[in-house]
Structure 1
């Protein structure tokens, strides 16, 4: 058997490719939205359910369940089964002929994809040292902007020759092959001190909730992480806002948004991960202080962007900051969670974080932006979306408060300098 764990960078590259594929499969529905809504005769409301509630209900809940499986059994096999499920159902999406069939297919795609992040982040935490962990997780989460961008690119290129159905079939076959190959990499957890097994589902959930309860820094990190991801609710409406209230051409601004989101999303993942490792390991507040610094740097730019002259340097700086910030926080935030969590609970804790993120930031956040802007429109406001999106920006800035609490807790337990280094468990900082 290949000693694949001796090659952590190769494992990271493999997981990045899988993560990119996951977000291509997830977002192909967006890339082909005009064709799919036409061919299946979907209303706007039905399409909204497919990309919103159907996905969130499955992915959010199943992330916890898949996380417990990844803590108890082989993480590579949990991922392989998840990839196989979402790939088969991606192909099934291409065979759907009505709304109901597409709902079932997309629900199960989300179920399969829920297996990836908890298992992959736990595996990376084991393979990379604390000094490199944030960078590794940041590289892994480059899969989000790369996958989103490539989904639109493939829809505009491959879709021309294969159509949306043929593209879904092809993606499903590619994923199935990857799933079978991943089964060759065995993740032995028994008799391995560094990777103890988790408990059965109910016991594991109870134990993880107890661990979160008695470790406030983990709870504050999860809450802060969910709140800062409200920025994604704002990004869901950014094109509508720019067209309706800032006067941009829809096609032109869509191309700009896609390009800038790929560039600055990837940059955010890389820079946030590297800064988390290089600065977080030297600062008394650890990675949490790095997170606070990035929020306080980008947050005001995002607010200024709402009022800046369209097309001005400040306008584009704020737009790029909104693409940069959320991805920049994945590496350091997940590093904080996993550093403070027992190894046998790391995937489950990640699952809880994904659950809260999907329900609060994506589902409730998007619904709130839509509802608030609709009410303001009815009241006669000419800047309804601007006002609603400012609310998401201020929530993002407010999330810094949770990470300040984490930094204070970490600082209270940070060892004192000894010969230029920090010796473990010294409490004289108080």
Structure 2
């Protein structure tokens, strides 16, 4: 799964000329499309056992069907986000939703593995920039003081969509077959894709004043762009975040199959149990982010220490879980491990914001998304599937949490340079009062 934290600019132009009831309608529709995005992405995981049996697929092939979506999201997030900013966000969001919904319908009609792979490839293309463009639309129609709340709620929507995709997908597959699981997600997305541009209008969510400010900012980002990769700690943060999501993303993809094989759960029950585990991960993302803000209010560098703690804690809990035999204790430890496995999302986002210039935060978070997908969400399911083909899924799961140790080591490297890099960036921004005021961003 791909995560998209975002911080808007410092000029308080959001919500100018937008009536509050209309703003909430925009939020509801954009949030609904986000849920459709993740339902279409994650429904595949619930029907892994059925595809494996019907088409005689290896775990490596199944993992590739999941990983190709994250790979395309990682590769295309930045260019498609830039295109949406240029050609219109509302039209772009509607086109994205239409594309991933039609591609999901293609999954339902696929007759073999190759056709399914092409359809999943197109799902990834359609979903690539939705997170970054969608949150930009939501933030643009609300006042500045609501941005943190809205961003947190929007990111949590990805988890809710994942839960619904796996739970409903498993239930539909058990009653009607796996093809109807994909078809149901596709029809939901198509309905919203048609409704969205009818209700949400570009001229109502993009006031002239906001466009003028964006134009002025675009003319002065050449030098700030260097901050995307100008410090050791920001590069380490990209890498550490991606490695840790290797753990959380892999468990979310393969846990329905694990429950099916080692607990003898039917598809619908495995999907429901997997949904609970994903909900734990989503709740943990929010709780860990709140904890980070609370503990690091007067000491931003503590965010790095918390990120290290989340990596090591999830490694310990998940390693203990997969060392046990199937049973309630193992399930409890998996839930606890997943509660903090994605906890690095908040601290990593805040670190990237602190280490890059305020005027390029959008690009910085797109870069973070790229790292999350290329290092974690895309290769994790595929590599684990290949290892599972060799030694079994249970043994493969015993190795996955160890990647958290590598993530912790990279975050420790970031910690060694973080304070110095922050001081250097502050020094470079002394001549820019607005920039220096916007360096510390609480996520």
TM-score, normalised by the number of residues in structure 1:
0.75
User: Tell me, what secondary structure is at the counterpart of 1:282?
Assistant: coil
Deviation at 1:110, TM superposition (A): 0.9
- Check conservation: 1:221, 1:337, Cα contact below 8 A: yes
What's the secondary structure of 1:179's corresponding residue?
helix
Conserved? CA contact 2:74–2:369, under 8 Å: yes
Equivalent in the alignment of 1:84: 98
Distance in 2, Cα, partners of 1:298 & 1:130? 34
Q: 1:189 deviation in Å?
A: 7.5
The 3-state SS of whatever aligns with 1:400 is helix
The structure 2 residue matched to 1:400, chosen from 411, 420, 425, is 411
The aligned counterpart of 2:206 is 188
Matched, 1:26 2:41: yes
Aligned equivalents of 1:176, 1:197: Cα separation in 2: 37
Aligned residue runs from structure 1 range 135-284, under 5 A: 135-159=149-173, 163-183=177-197, 184-186=200-202, 187-188=205-206, 192=210, 194-196=213-215, 210-214=226-230, 216-232=232-248, 234-235=250-251, 236=253, 248-251=262-265, 254=270, 257-284=273-300
C-alpha distance after superposition, 1:277-297 (max 9, x if no partner):
444433342654543454454
Structure 1 residue aligned with 2:31: 16
Once the two structures are TM-superposed, the CA of residue 229 in structure 1 deviates from its matched residue by: 0.8
Write the deviation string for residues 88-124 of structure 1: whole angstroms up to 9, x where unpaired: 2222322333333322222111111112112234456
Q: Is residue 195–residue 344 contact of structure 1 (8 Å, CA) maintained in 2?
A: no
CA 1:390–1:109 in 2, change beyond 3 Å: closer, same or farther? Answer: closer
Question: Unaligned 5+ residue runs, structure 2?
Answer: 1-15, 427-435, 438-443
Instruction: Name the residue aligned to 2:335.
Output: 320
Question: Could you say which residue in structure 1 is the equivalent of 2:396?
Answer: 385
The range that moved more, 186-195 or 223-232, is 186-195
Q: Does 1:119 align with 2:133?
A: yes
Return the offset for 1:82. 1.0
Q: Distance in 2 between matches of 1:17 and 1:333?
A: 26
Query: Matched residue pairs, number?
Result: 407
Alpha-carbon distance between aligned partners in 1 of 2:394 and 2:49, rounded to the nearest angstrom: 27
| Paired position in structure 1 for 2:81 | 67
Q: Which of 335, 339, 364 does residue 379 from structure 2 map onto?
A: 364
Deviation at 1:397, TM superposition (A): 3.2
Change (3 A) 1:42 1:157: same
In structure 1, the gaps of 5 or more residues are: 416-423, 426-430
Deviates most, 148-157 or 277-286: 277-286
> Which residue of structure 2 lines up, in the alignment, with residue 428 of structure 1?
none
Change (3 A) 1:350 1:233: same
In structure 1, C-alpha distance between the alignment counterparts of 2:318 and 2:30, rounded to whole Å: 31
What do residues 5-35 of structure 1 show as CA deviations (whole Å, max 9, x unaligned)? 7876665554433222111111222223344
- The Cα RMSD (Å) is 4.4
Q: Deviations over 1:274-329 (max 9, x none)?
A: 3344444333426545434544544433344344676575x555422332224433
TM-score (norm 2): 0.73
